[in-house]
């Protein structure tokens, strides 16, 4: 089961900081990040790639986004 960071309801840079903190704790595996706007989706995606995580999938869930991040 993947770890989940629920950053819905937060504006940037908070979703990025929340996701980065969890990515650095995990170091590898799968992390799902939930956000509720396009700006957060884009910035979290960029931060994840910069940290060496793969953006495996982005799912639109009724206006919210679930980003599936993976790192071996």
Strands 3-6 and 29-35: parallel
Per-residue model confidence (pLDDT) at position 11: 94
The most distant pair of C-alpha atoms in the chain lies apart, rounded to whole Å, by 30
From first to last of its 72 residues, the chain has per-residue pLDDT tens of 679 999 999 999 999 999 999 999 999 999 999 999 999 999 999 999 999 999 999 999 999 999 999 999
Q: Domain map of the chain by residue range?
A: 3-71
Per-residue model confidence (pLDDT) at position 39: 97
> To the nearest 10°, the Cα dihedral for 23, 29, 33, 39?
60
Per-residue model confidence (pLDDT) at position 2: 76
Find out if CATH 1.10.3210.10 is the number for domain 3-71.
Answer: no
């Amino acid at each position: 089961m993947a770890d989940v960071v629920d950053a819905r309801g937060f504006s940037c840079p908070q979703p990025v900081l929340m996701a980065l903190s969890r990515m650095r704790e995990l170091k590898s595996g799968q992390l799902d990040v939930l956000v509720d706007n396009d700006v957060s989706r884009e910035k979290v995606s960029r931060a994840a790639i910069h940290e060496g995580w793969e953006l495996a999938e982005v799912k639109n869930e009724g206006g919210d986004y679930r980003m599936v991040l993976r790192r071996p």
